[in-house]
């Protein structure tokens, strides 16, 4: 199963915000987690793993960009 999330930079808010589709998906995942009520067998772990992978990859890109800026 493939997943994707999209964030858009907003000049008005001065920060990245999830697209409407991504916001809906994250809300669904949050609801799933609440309904699991600590029982991760009910919660598809790929959701959390996917978010962890995205955050980790973005952190790597961010760190690389900071390193290049200092050179």
* Helix (H/G/I), strand (E/B), else coil: 16: strand
pLDDT in tens, the chain (71 residues): 578 999 999 888 889 999 999 999 999 888 887 787 767 665 667 788 889 999 999 999 999 999 887 77
Question: What local confidence, expressed as pLDDT, does residue 21 receive?
Answer: 95
Question: What local confidence, expressed as pLDDT, does residue 58 receive?
Answer: 94
Question: What local confidence, expressed as pLDDT, does residue 71 receive?
Answer: 72
In whole angstroms, give the CA distance from residue 13 to residue 16.
8
Question: What local confidence, expressed as pLDDT, does residue 1 receive?
Answer: 59
Neighbours of 15 (CB within 10 A): 9
C-alpha angle 57-67-51 in degrees, rounded to nearest 5: 15
| Domains in the chain: boundaries | 7-70
Cβ atoms of residues 49 and 42 within 8 Å: no
Question: What local confidence, expressed as pLDDT, does residue 6 receive?
Answer: 95
């Amino acid at each position: 199963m493939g997943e994707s999330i999209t964030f858009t930079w907003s000049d008005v808010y001065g920060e990245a915000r999830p697209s409407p589709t991504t916001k809906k998906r994250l809300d669904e995942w949050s609801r799933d987690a609440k309904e699991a009520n600590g029982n991760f067998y009910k919660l598809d772990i790929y959701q959390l793993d996917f978010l962890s992978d995205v955050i980790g990859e973005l952190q790597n890109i961010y760190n690389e960009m900071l390193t290049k800026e200092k050179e």
